[in-house]
A and B are shown apart, each in its own frame.
Chain A
Amino acid sequence: MATIVAEATGQAILHEEHEQSFLRKYIFSTDHKVIAIQFLIYTLFFLMIGGLLAMLMRYQIAWPARGELPLGGIFPESMVASGYILPEFYNALVTMHGSVMVFLAIMPMLVGVWANYLIPLQLGTHDMAFPRLNMLSFWAMVPAGILTLASFFVVGGAAGAGWTLYAPLSARPDLTGVGLGQILWLAALVFIGLSSILGSVNYITTTINMRAPGMTWMRMPLTIWSLFITAILALLAMPVLSAAGIMLIFDQTIGTSFFLPEGGGQPLLWQHLFWFFGHPEVYILILPAMGFTSEILSVGSRKPVFGYKAMVLALVSIAFLGFIVWGHHMFQSGMNPMLGLTFTVSTLFIAVPSAIKTFNWMGTMWRGNLQLHSAMLFAIGFVAMFAIGGLSGVFMASTPVDIYIHDTYFIVAHIHYVLFGGSLFALFGAIYFWYPKMFGRMMNETMGKIHFWLTFVFFNLVFFPMHGVGMVGMMRRIYDSTGYAHLQGIEDTNAIITWAAFGLFASGFLFAFNFFWSLKKGRKAEANPWNATTLEWQTPSPPKHGNWEEIPVVYHGPHEYSHPDVEDKDWLAQNERPDVVSPAAGSH
Chain B
Amino acid sequence: MAHAATAGRVPERGLDVYTQKVGMWVFLCSEVMFFAGLIGSYVVLRFGAADTWAEPGDVLNVPVTAFNTFLLICSSVTMVKAFAAAQEGDQRGIKLYLLLTTLLGATFLGVQVYEYIELVLHKSWQGSHGFTPAAGLYGATFFTMTGFHGFHVLLGVICLAWATIRAWRGHWGADNTHGIEVLGLYWHFVDLVWIILFTIVYLI
A238 contacts B23, C-beta separation under 8 Å: no
Contact of A266 among B10, B34, B48, B132 (CB under 8 A): B48
Interface size class of A (residues with CB under 8 A): 35 or more
- Shortest Cβ distance from A239 into B: residue: B34
Q: Are B26 and A201 in contact (CB under 8 A)?
A: yes
Interfacial chain A residues near B14, Cβ < 8 Å: 208-211
How big is chain B's contact interface, by range? 35 or more
Q: Which residue of A lies closest to B137 (CB)?
A: A264
How close is A357's CB to chain B, nearest CB, in angstroms?
26
Known contacts: A236-B33, A269-B41. The answer to whether A210 contacts B10 by CB under 8 A is yes
Closest to A243 in B: B37
Query: Which residues of chain A from 220 to 274 have any CB-CB distance to chain B below 8 Å in the complex?
Result: 235-240, 242-244, 246-247, 250, 254-258, 263-266, 269, 272-273
Q: Is B30 an interface residue (CB 8 A)?
A: yes
- Docked complex Cα distance between A238 and B14 (Å): 26
Partner of B15, one of A208, A257, A264, A272: A208
Q: A269–B22 contact, CB under 8 A?
A: no
Tell me the complex Cα distance, A197–B23, Å.
11
Verify A243–B34 contact, CB threshold 8 A.
Answer: yes
Q: How far is the CA of A546 from the CA of B41 in the complex (A)?
A: 45
A interface secondary structure, majority: helix
Determine how close the nearest CB of chain A comes to the CB of B202; give it in whole angstroms: 19
CB distance from A383 to the nearest CB of B (A): 32
Stretch at the interface among A126-134, A156-164, A341-349, A392-400: A126-134
A residues near B107, Cβ cutoff 8 Å: none
Tell me the dominant secondary structure on chain B's binding face.
helix
Task: Bits for B175-192, please: 1 = Cβ < 8 Å to A, else 0.
Answer: 000000000000000000
Residues on A with C-beta less than 8 A from B17 are: 209
Out of B9, B11, B48, B144, name the residue touching A246 (CB < 8 Å): B144
Bound Cα distance A553, B2 (Å)? 13
In the complex, what residues of B have CB within 8 A of residue A130's CB? 19, 23
Number of A-B contacts (CB under 8 A): 124
Return chain A residues, CB-CB under 8 Å to B49: 264
> Are B33's CB and A266's CB within 8 A?
no
Q: Which chain B residues numbered 8 to 65 have a C-beta less than 8 Å away from chain A?
A: 9-15, 17, 19, 22-23, 26-27, 29-31, 33-38, 41, 44-45, 48-49, 52
CB proximity of B157 to chain A, nearest CB, Å: 20
The answer, yes or no, to whether B134 is at the interface (CB within 8 Å) is yes
Partner of A205, one of B4, B22, B34, B38: B22
In the complex, the answer to whether A258 meets B13 with C-beta atoms within 8 Å is: no
Question: Are B15 and A213 in contact, CB atoms less than 8 angstroms apart?
Answer: no
Would A213 and B30 count as touching, CB distance under 8 A? no
Tell me the smallest distance from the CB of B14 to a CB of chain A, in Å. Answer: 4
| B26/A14 in contact, CB under 8 A | no
A269 and B134 in contact, given A126-B10, A201-B26 (Cβ under 8 angstroms): no
Give chain A's interface residues, CB within 8 Å of chain B: 14, 125-127, 129-130, 197, 200-202, 204-205, 208-213, 235-240, 242-244, 246-247, 250, 254-258, 263-266, 269, 272-273, 276, 551, 553
**Which residues of B are in contact with A by a Cβ distance under 8 Å?**
1, 4, 9-15, 17, 19, 22-23, 26-27, 29-31, 33-38, 41, 44-45, 48-49, 52, 132-134, 136-137, 139-141, 144, 148
Given contacts A263-B136, A263-B137, A265-B137, 10 further A-B contacts (CB under 8 A): A129-B23, A210-B12, A240-B34, A242-B37, A247-B144, A250-B144, A254-B133, A255-B132, A264-B136, A265-B45
6 A-B pairs with least C-beta separation = A243-B37, A255-B134, A256-B140, A239-B34, A209-B14, A240-B37
25 chain-A/chain-B pairs, Cβ below 8 angstroms: A14-B10, A125-B10, A127-B10, A129-B10, A129-B19, A205-B22, A209-B12, A209-B14, A210-B13, A235-B26, A235-B29, A236-B30, A237-B33, A239-B33, A240-B34, A243-B37, A243-B38, A244-B41, A254-B133, A256-B137, A258-B141, A264-B48, A269-B45, A272-B44, A551-B11
